[in-house]
Amino acid sequence: MKAPRYRAIAAALRRQIARSHNPHQRLPSELELARRFRAARETIRRALAELQHEGLIYCRQGVGSFVAEPRVDQDLDRLVGFSEFMQRQGLKPGARLLEAGVLRIRDPRSPVLRALGLRPGAPLIYLRRLRTAAGEPLVIASTWLPERLFPDLLRQDLRRRSVYRLMAAAGYPPERATETLEAVTLNSEQAALLGVAPGSPAFLVRRTAWSGRLPVEYAEDYYRGDRTSFRVNLRPAPTRRLEA
Q: CATH no. for residue 54?
A: 1.10.10.10
pLDDT band at residue 102, thresholds of 50, 70 and 90? very high
pLDDT for 88: 60
Exposure string of 122-136, with b = 16+ CB inside 10 Å and e = fewer, is eebbbbbbbbbbeeb
- Edge to edge, the sheet with strand 93-104 lists 93-104, 123-133, 136-146, 214-224, 201-211, 176-185
Q: Which of 38, 43, 33 is nearest to 13 (CA)?
A: 33
Tell me: do 117 and 225 sit in the same domain.
yes
Tell me: do 180 and 126 sit in the same domain.
yes
pTM of the model: 0.70
Distance linking the first and last C-alpha atoms of the chain: 54
Contact 72, 90 (CB under 8 A): no
Alpha-carbon distance of 204 to 142, in angstroms, equals: 11
Contact 165, 172 (CB under 8 A): no
Domain assignment of residue 133, yes or no: yes
183-197, 210-224, 225-239: segment of lowest average pLDDT: 225-239
Among the candidates 67, 92, 107, a domain finishes at: 67
Read off the pLDDT of each residue in 24-37 and give the average, rounded to a whole number.
Answer: 90
- Alpha carbon distances (Å) from 169 to 4, 31, 175, 193: 58, 58, 13, 30
Q: How are beta strands 228-231 and 72-75 bridged, if at all?
A: parallel
Tell me: do 40 and 134 sit in the same domain.
no
Domain assignment of residue 237, yes or no: no
**What is the DSSP code (8-state) at residue 6?**
H
Q: Taking 90 as the threshold, does the pLDDT of residue 43 lie above it?
A: yes
Among the candidates 40, 67, 94, a domain finishes at: 67
Alpha-carbon distance of 81 to 143, in angstroms, equals: 12
Provide the residue range defining the domain that includes 129: 72-231
- Decide: residue 155, CB within 10 A, 0-12 exposed, 13-18 middle, 19+ buried: exposed
**What is the DSSP code (8-state) at residue 231?**
E
**How many domains, the chain?**
2
Alpha-carbon distance of 227 to 86, in angstroms, equals: 13
- Alpha carbon distances (Å) from 133 to 87, 112, 158, 189, 209: 9, 27, 16, 20, 23
- Segment 179-191, tens digit of pLDDT: 999 999 999 999 9
**Higher per-residue confidence, 243 vs 223:** 223
Q: Taking 90 as the threshold, does the pLDDT of residue 77 lie above it?
A: no
Q: Taking 70 as the threshold, does the pLDDT of residue 84 lie above it?
A: no
**What is the DSSP code (8-state) at residue 188?**
H
Q: What are phi and psi for residue 52, nearest 5 degrees?
A: -65, -40
pLDDT band at residue 244, thresholds of 50, 70 and 90? very low
